Amino acid sequence: MAKKQKVLVIVGPTSSGKSALAVALARRLDGEVISADSRQVYRGLDIGTGKITKREKRGIPHYLLDEVSPRRIFTADDFVRRGCVAIADISSRGKLPIVAGGTGFYIDALVGRILLPNVPPNKKLRAQLEEKPASQLFTLLKKKDPRRAKTIEPQHKRRLIRALEVVSALGKVPMIDLQNQSSFDPLWLGITLQSKVLERKIRMRLRERMRQGMVAEARRLHAGGLSYKRMEELGLEYRSLARLLQGTITRGQMIDELNRAISKYAIRQLRYWKRNKDIRWFMPSKTATIEKAVRVWLK
């Protein structure tokens, strides 16, 4: 049997410190980082997504950032294909591939925990579902496939429509554990924080992004051709930013709305990862302990 490629995977909720830990470990263990974030793959979505900066990378190469225009749709299939290419490239040079991010569905698909459904688009069904609000689509998905509903952002209309499209074709979204068939040997590390600490970090991070010009970034994106409809489809920060720029909500309302939405998103992320019993959870400050665990695994 061929030896499986080792891949270090770092997961956890938004604002927990995944990117900083990935860089620290990459510097100590001769690794390179693959970002697993469904929004950071888009060019120009920098401040709103909290995308790692050149300075924060500290010279460590990063992959799957700024891959496509935000006017395009980037899917989990796209992520798996490009992620596999990145892992092969990194490992071919004797480096350690480090996958770090908060989009659990993407990571599970990449390392082989789940099987992505091969279901072609159903234009007629999509047109019907497009007429329904996201809240109704989410309720429908919870009824038809509650397991998939637990992994999806309730207001992300495009993903809800795709999930329902798959449910319609297959009966449910297959979430088959395929780890034994995967060509990768992942070590799962999870970053955990006390809920109050995480909420405080989320508020501080949002405040910092506002100071850096998150609203101006959204305005530039729209002026560059990104429609408000597409901006709302991108979810979370960009949904609220689109509403602000259209005058639907005030700046203060947007900040309150986002603090609540991001906190709920962090809870959903943790709920998703808690199902994976292979994850070893650490406080982000325990870098030395984490490094030791990784070195043992690498032997």
What the block records as the tokens of 96 is: 């350690």
Tens of pLDDT, residue by residue over 95-134, are 999 999 999 999 999 998 887 777 778 888 888 888 888 8
Q: 99: which strand partners? A: 9, 34
Pick from 65-74, 179-188, 200-209: least confident: 179-188
What the block records as the tokens of 136 is: 């109704």
| pLDDT tier, 174 (very low <50, low <70, confident <90, very high otherwise) | low
| pLDDT tier, 82 (very low <50, low <70, confident <90, very high otherwise) | very high
Give the chain as a 3 state SS string.
CCCCEEEEEEECCCCCCHHHHHHHHHHHHCEEEEECCCCCCECCCCCCCCCCCHHHHCCCCEECCCCECCCCCCCHHHHHHHHHHHHHHHHHCCCEEEEECCCHHHHHHHHCCCCCCCCCCCHHHHHHHHCCCHHHHHHHHHHHCHHHHCCCCCCCHHHHHHHHHHHHHHCCCCCCCCHHHCCEEEEEEEECCCHHHHHHHHHHHHHHHHHHCHHHHHHHHHHCCCCHHHHHHCCHHHHHHHHHHCCCCCHHHHHHHHHHHHHHHHHHHHHHHCCCCCCEEECCCCHHHHHHHHHHHHC
Q: Would 284 be classed as within a structural domain?
A: no
- The sign of the CA dihedral 162, 227, 136, 130 is negative
Residues 214 and 260 in one domain: yes
Average pLDDT, the chain: 91
Q: Would 33 be classed as within a structural domain?
A: no
Residues 236 and 203 in one domain: yes
Residues 209 and 154 in one domain: no
The pLDDT, as a whole number, for residue 148 is: 78
Q: What is the pTM of this model?
A: 0.84
Looking up residue 142, the CATH number of its domain turns out to be: 1.10.20.140
User: What's the whole-number mean pLDDT along residues 258-281?
Assistant: 94
Looking up residue 241, the CATH number of its domain turns out to be: 1.10.287.890
User: What's the whole-number mean pLDDT along residues 171-188?
Assistant: 67
The pLDDT, as a whole number, for residue 178 is: 42
Nearest to 137 by CA among 113, 115, 110, 164: 164
Q: Would 158 be classed as within a structural domain?
A: yes
| Residue 231 main-chain phi, psi, to 5 deg | -60, -40
Rounded Cα gap, residues 244 and 232, in angstroms = 11
- The number of folded domains in the chain is 2
* pLDDT exceeds 50 at position 215: yes
Q: Would 214 be classed as within a structural domain?
A: yes
151 or 56, greater pLDDT: 56
Rounded Cα gap, residues 298 and 90, in angstroms = 16
Tens of pLDDT, residue by residue over 27-67, are 999 999 999 999 999 999 999 999 999 999 999 999 999 99
| pLDDT tier, 181 (very low <50, low <70, confident <90, very high otherwise) | low
Rounded Cα gap, residues 111 and 97, in angstroms = 12
* pLDDT exceeds 90 at position 6: yes
Structure-token match 């999509």, residue found: 126
The pLDDT, as a whole number, for residue 165 is: 84
User: What's the whole-number mean pLDDT along residues 194-198?
Assistant: 94
Q: Would 251 be classed as within a structural domain?
A: yes
The pLDDT, as a whole number, for residue 180 is: 47
User: What's the whole-number mean pLDDT along residues 137-146?
Assistant: 87
The pLDDT, as a whole number, for residue 133 is: 87
What residue numbers bound the domain in which 214 lies? 197-265
Q: Would 254 be classed as within a structural domain?
A: yes
Q: Would 168 be classed as within a structural domain?
A: yes
The pLDDT, as a whole number, for residue 2 is: 66
